[in-house]
Structure 1
Amino acid sequence: MYPLHVLLGLLLLASLQAPTPAAGATTNTLAAGQALAIGDKLVSSNGKFALGFFQPTAAVTSKSGNTTSSSWYLGIWFNNIPVFTTVWVANREQPITDPKLTQLKISSDGNLAIVSHASPESVVWSTHIVANRTTGAGTNTTSAVLLDTGNLALVGSPSSNVTLWQSFDYPTDVMLPGAKFGRNKLTGFSRVGVTRKSLIDPGLGSYSVEIDTSGVVLKHRNPSVVYWHWLSGGASTLKLIPILKTMLQSNPRTKGLIDPTYVNDDAEEYYMYTSQDNSSLTFVSLDISGQIKMNVWSQAEQSWQAIFAQPADPCTPYATCGPFTTCDGTSPPFCDCMESFSQKSPQDWTLDDRTGGCTRNTRLHCTTSSEKNTTSSTDVFHPIAHVTLPYNPQSIDGAANQSKCEEACLNSCSCTAYSYNSSRCSVWYGELFSVNKNDGIDNNSEDVLYLRLAASDSPSLRRNKGKSSIGVVIAASIMGVGLLILMLLFMIWRKKIRWCGTPSYDSQGGFGCVFKGALSDSTTIAVKRLDGARQGEKQFRAEVSSLGLIQHINLVKLIGFCCEGDKRLLVYEHMSNGSLDAHLFQGNAAALNWNARLWDGSICRKGLQPSSDYIQRNCRVPCPRVAWGSSYYIES
């Protein structure tokens, strides 16, 4: 039997080498000593929400189908719907690149942390609470619980009601029912929502929403530009909740479903809404475009339905389409590039990331001479009418008319546009943002922006080139049609069989052309049209009077004839292999096999014998002997 100290040593070694127990697939709690790895998840007790590691995926219109990020994140999502929808992301700015070595667990100091076990071991993300949650015996009692509301709470112990940290206090771009959105007046803590960068990048995007001392503020983050504001307190706030309730009650999809509230006391100020139907799925989001939207899940459509948006005009957020773009809020897609500009990154645009905007097709032609202190440019200006003018205009004093204003812009190589209105000259340097078209609803601007372009990109120049190009295309089309007609005529002519001579007479006279045809019973025939008034008539009479009476196995049979006016036609049985002279003298004729050659030679020999009665035999009238190769025809 082993000594006691040896057994204790073996037990200690086994405990050090034992793997960390994983959280169960159906549990909603992660306790100290447990770990959540890739493929594991916590599920709320009602089954509505799940927490785990995920890769963002977006369904975009492309040949490759869905687009998936290469990075991993820890997040919470709706668990029982086919459309993967996250409501909270932990490590927005710290994506995981090596998921196999990454776990979520309660650290030794009581924090919930994403830990990478790569060498060296590092903390990817943590709740960063200060208190060290250990008992007197040194046991960590902290637990993470995914509640039925979708809130991830860090509690002192599984049985404790004390919340040390919760995801509802650190929203991403979504607010769920029961979550407070506002600020603590005593501590100064404020809950801020920030848009994601794109459909597959949950990192910090361009827009944010928060409640500060002045009220609800929507703004562009960098540069900081406030584009929508709702004042706190007073009559405006008292009106907001009734307006929201009226809007929600008027829509059948939200009637009796959502109840918004507003609280403003000495301790805190916040907005919150609750759901009257626990089986329904709703959330409020700050969209990538900078709009606040109320979303409701449609079981019938199996998709999210946006009930309303604020601001109502999607073009209101600053730079929502990126630089050198125009925005038209009447119908999607709202964003488009300016004249002679193209999307800087079409792939980013498909993922709703338009921060790169558009870029010039052709660089401006502008040079500056430092010695002479002069600027030379061949650039032109293209008017964009009925738009809001871009942000940050610079006024030019002394420009008495539009020509002077245009000249002032051309004299600076960094000037990209100008506007002249009511004797006021404004110019813009660098990128142009928030050029929104007049939609007759929220935007009624009648201003005209003159966009600077390279001369080769001028629309009027392209139209002139287009006219000449159209002329060339028309001429080429006419020539093409003419050639096509000639080719068709040639093909029709090729289908006609032209034999110089007749099936049984000397071909040197060239009395007409022979055409291939068919009778109503599908019998293939050869129809000879006789040319020339005098010679044709003579040939016609000779053929009808002789071949019409002859019945011989080796002579072409005259089936019939036609005589109408000066037209003369003779109808023969068709010989598919043509005349013998074609096979003897034409290089492109098909070669005859030896049986055909011997048979043809035998027939010709008999027909050429002066004393032979081969042709004469069984003929009712005398038959002339013809020795020309074109007089002999070969059947199939």
Structure 2
Amino acid sequence: MNNGNLVLIAESSSNGTSLWQSFDYPTDVALPGAKLGRNKVTGLNRRFISKKSLIDPGLGSYILELDSNGMLSHKRRKPPFVVYWSWSSSKFAYTLLLVLNGLLGSDPRTNKGSLKPAYVNNNEEECFTYTSSDESSSTFVSIDIFGQIKLNIWSQAEQSWQTIYAQPADQCNLLAACGPFTVCNANSHPFCGCMEGFSPKSPQDWEVDDPTAGCVRNTHLDCTTGYKNTTSSTDMFHSIAHVTLPSYPHNIEDVTTQSECEEACLNNCSCTAYSYSSGRCSIWYDELFSLSQTDGIENFSDNDLYLRLATRGMQSLGENNKVRSRIVIAAGIASCGLLIFMLMFWSKKIKWCGVPLLGSQGSGGGITAFRYTDLGHATKHFSQRLGGGGFGSVFKGVLSDRTSIAVKRLDGARQGEKQFRAEVSSIGLIQHINLVKLIGFCCEGDKRLLVYEHMSNGSLNAHLFQSNASTILSWSTRYQIAIGVARGLSYLHHSCRECIIHCDIKPENILLDASFLPKITDFGMAAIVGRDFSRVLTTFRGTAGYLAPEWLSGVAITPKVDVYSFGMVLLEIISGRRNSSEAYTSNSYQAVYFPVQASSKLHEGDVQSLVDPQLRGDFDLAEAERVCKVACWCIQDNEVHRPTMVEVVRVLEGLQEVDMPPMPRLLAAITERSDVTSICSVRSAFLQLSVMGLGWELETSKQISWLCLSLHYCLHFVQRLSGLLFIWSVLIDDPLITRARLHCSQWRLLLEKNQQLELDDKNQFVRTLLNLFL
């Protein structure tokens, strides 16, 4: 058949009834049209089982099936038996389909969602399947010999198969993927290795990437149990640092020191290892499974495992280490001599030509350390500026292998070299499809530069806030951008080892690749430049117009500040313009704040009027309403009322319903006190201040910005044509309104009161105002 199904049909059959088909007996591969599930009539169960090895097609260790109880499960079918996950198909099938549709539809490599998963449950069968509407692309799902479920697509450009999705993402997360007495390292190839003092049990299987048999001891333990169960042992312990501990530990109570924990293990001949941390003693009996370790400056775990070895094994281990040390020293001396000769030769003949120095400056986490001169050559002496922000300027460059890069030259980085390298290496380990990849860095003297992958379609603001009709973003593209940014933030907030708060989400920090896949940039900058984002605005200014109210309240910030900024960005994605717009006439000045309109129209049921008119009505109304609701929840004044980014992703993917959000207090105050959208016409709700001074600069001088000091004050400012800066402060609790004038003279701020100003903390108001503009 054209779909790859091998079918046997009886010669005498007139209706084409099949006698046998390969899709009924899948192995480790599922082509489009294949089914995972059971035939209720015949009892046939179609399930996927991994191969034993790369060259042995026999039954392997892992299985994916839909059993007779309607449970979709992924499990290990050989000892140690374990179920990795199991879902009730009747309860979670459609939820799973929504997740898969969202995942496949957002990845440009699947050709705009041409892959469609499906669930069938009728009187004849219950099964999962998938189809492909693009006959020009080749796709298959597989379960590999290590138990990973993978979606593979043929790349015409690379002329090879590419895995675009794997579950679990890390092979080391599968129990016993490498067999007993092994160490799993996802950053190594092969990723399985024997523990010190052990060798492969079946070397011929390891040669064909089948390590499931694991490893065996080189030297047997010396442990005997004598009269009255007394134990005699000369064994010793070898430490393995920074590992995730094996499965199935036994906790020992009433142990207060490491020596007592070690003794508890020695007194049991079945004990093979122990760990002692924070007053807790854990020991393991017999075989050890699922020990994993990662490379890099920061390890995956701070736990140490003490492996039991025979004394003779420890001695041979020491001798091997001595031999290795001699080899390393000899190789180091030879390398130094060769390096000195090469440097002397190169210094006379050629200059550095922009080639990254791998490891020469101590790269870590899979990123490259560059020389400053290399980046100077790559960027043509920093001549092509792409943009800039609060952390520094960004320049376009090209490496010697023709890789396009974006080089960010940091301003005001306060960290020392060692800490900077550690933070950069940590950020370099963060990998997500919706985060810009950090390629490398430069750290020479006081110079601090970061090297990123270059995004060919630039930043989101360049596509939203322009009038070129030929490059208007379609609604489907906008919606996928919204989902992609939400996924990236959700990963930073909830999936990293430590929560990463971006602190400056805005269209300028959302970049688009050639397929308009969104990628967040500038994440992790707090640690890199050495700023404390748990403090108030004086340590970080963010971008006016996207700042959450708590930035100026003096309390520690949380990931909810990113949620607020994301809500503001969502509103701009909907409307295709800045949230704040302004217009000058001969007689008046009008400032329109879109979040007020969005919240009001949403409650009136008129979402259609909020969508970018340049789309000419070509959008999904249900999606637009969903995005608008999410945005209005995200910009709630109280961070407790805002959703998490995990919840935002679920709502945008259609997996969770969303209620009508209440109007934020600030927007409600503006709406109640004004019958038009012009902020200037709001009666008695504003305190008008005019500020005059020399040398004052405002980054958003052509935009209206809102900054909330607390639940009582919110500043709104705009630079007028005359050069005067007018500020209105929303007094939410509506105390006495007065008119005052602020003067700036030699960095002193004087308040001239025409009448008494009733504010609960006038000094804090003035101090914060100084921090904003001086």
Q: TM-score, normalised by structure 1?
A: 0.46
Find the structure with the greater CA-based Rg: 1
Q: TM-score, normalised by structure 2?
A: 0.38
Q: Give the strand-richer structure, 1 or 2.
A: 1
